[in-house]
Amino acid sequence: MGILERRQRQKEEVKNDIICTAWQMVKKEGWQALSIRKIADAIEYSVPVIYDHFENKDAILLEFSKKGFMILSAKIIEAKDRYKEPEEQIKAMADAYWNFAMDNKEHYQLMFGIGMPCCEISKAMPEQEKFRSLVLQPIDDVIKKSGRTDINSCLKYHTFWSVMHGLISIKIIGNSAIDEELNKMVLDDAIAGFIKNLS
Amino acid sequence: MGILERRQRQKEEVKNDIICTAWQMVKKEGWQALSIRKIADAIEYSVPVIYDHFENKDAILLEFSKKGFMILSAKIIEAKDRYKEPEEQIKAMADAYWNFAMDNKEHYQLMFGIGMPCCEISKAMPEQEKFRSLVLQPIDDVIKKSGRTDINSCLKYHTFWSVMHGLISIKIIGNSAIDEELNKMVLDDAIAGFIKNLS
DNA sequence: TATGTTTCCTAACAGTGTTAGCAAATATAG
DNA sequence: CTATATTTGCTAACACTGTTAGGAAACATA
């Protein structure tokens, strides 16, 4: 008798409804605006029904995080398969990663836990120009020293910052999922490579 | 008459008390656990008093964010001033940045809006090994191709990811404080440099 | 001593995640 | 077809959250 199966189907329909509604909210107002009650209102069920499908609110957000990684994986595979030479593959994968992040900002934020209510970086960073020039100057020096004119120091400043921030935030988020020692080695390697590429 | 000045002093003492208490909470339980009521309880004042000193909760967190940037600036200047050669300066600045982040995780999280309740990256990333090997393989290929044996592909995998994530998250957080075009150029530059350093 | 200010609290508003307990609808067994 | 058991989905509450209106008490000034 297919009664149980129909019930199962209906139940999953509700779950799907929850996910869709929640996703619309996240897309429209950001992950901070997601609320169980608002979801319940939208799907026209009472609040506790949500908890029949998800253990808690975080579980819903985790769902999106997971989906994000799946989409990203797919995009990267797709990009890689378009090329044969590994150099091209790396470049294509990087582009795919970038495009994924730009096209799926909400996913990306959930995946990597980015974006607090308070902090727009520009508001928090005092004397932005001073900070910038501080880091920029030695970069500029190395470039000048090498006599090269095709290297943009402004570009390199951002590269520097990105490498630093990327490694650190992945370490902080990942909560030592990755070897402690390795992280410092990655930094040293990245900075060494960075300096090398300046001349 | 120093009455007004004493009052001013006392008022700033309370403000200082708020900051100190709030900071202890952030350090002990993370920025998500900070609550106006808990601060009020701790400083033995009623809730609205907090709002005589800060416009809202975010303003308190912003305070820490700002302080974080000040500490970071100081550390970077200090590191830079220890060396004369720009290459050494860059290396020292990178180390200082890294150490700052490790020693001040709470500050760093506030500064760059990292760390949501839900997402520990390891829980969200499905089939971690598959994802890893996907990116690792072309990196390995380039290294093999070059015939070099002194390059650790595992290291390079993390470097790749860091560069990607760093650039993207700064762009997302910074909310286009930085030129739109520039970001893609930085990525291209960083990836080109990355590939170059593999052989 | 009376007036005006500042300080500070109570209490509320409007929301949040989460759960206990109960009523109604449904499916199964006699 | 009725009686029992199960699932389903609700109301209402608990314990929080940020934020603010309004009033009472403490204070300094005239």
Which tens digits make up the pLDDT trace of A69-115? 999 999 999 999 999 999 999 999 999 999 999 999 999 999 999 98
A117 CB neighbours in chain B (<8 A) are: 58, 61
Neighbours of B161 (CB within 10 A): 18
Tell me which H or E stretch contains A176.
none
Chain mean pLDDT for chain A: 90
Q: Which domains does chain A have, with CATH numbers?
A: 3-112 (1.10.357.10), 121-196 (no CATH)
pLDDT of B177 higher than 60: no
Q: In angstroms, how far apart are the furthest CA atoms of chain A?
A: 81
Question: B10-17, long-range: CB within 8 Å, 24+ apart, which pairs?
Answer: B11/B52, B11/B53, B14/B43, B14/B45, B14/B49, B14/B53, B15/B53, B17/B43
- Strand C neighbours among B 47-76, CB < 7 A: 47-49, 52
Average pLDDT, chain B: 90
pLDDT of residue A199: 83
The predicted-structure confidence for B125-170, as pLDDT tens digits, reads as follows 776 778 889 899 999 999 999 999 999 998 999 889 888 999 999 8
What are the pLDDT digits (tens) for A146-190?
999 999 998 999 899 888 999 999 888 876 556 778 888 889 999
Question: Token pair of A15, please?
Answer: 């779950």
Helix axes B105-112, B153-174, angle to 10 degrees: 50
CB contact under 8 A, B158 and A178: yes
- CA closest to B172 among chain A residues: A105
Distance CA A160, CA B135 (A): 22
Chain C positions with a protein C-beta closer than 7 Å: 6-12, 15-21, 26-28
Of A28, A35, A32, the closest CA to residue A115 belongs to A32
From chain B, the residues in CB contact with A59 under 8 A are: 118
- Residue A5 distance to chain B (closest CA, Å): 28
Residue B94, class by beta-carbon neighbours within 10 Å (0-12 exposed, 13-18 middle, 19+ buried)?
Answer: buried
pLDDT at residue A125 in the model: 78
Distance CA B83, CA B94 (A): 13
State whether the beta carbon of A1 lies below 7 angstroms from any atom of strand C.
Answer: yes
Is residue B115 scored above 80 in pLDDT?
Answer: yes
Test A115 with B166 for CB contact under 8 angstroms: no
CA distance A1 to chain B (A): 36
Average confidence (pLDDT) over B72-101: 96
pLDDT score, position A175: 64
% of chain A with per-residue pLDDT over 90: 70
Residues A12-18 have a mean pLDDT of 95
For B19 and D9, how far is CA from C1' in angstroms?
A: 46
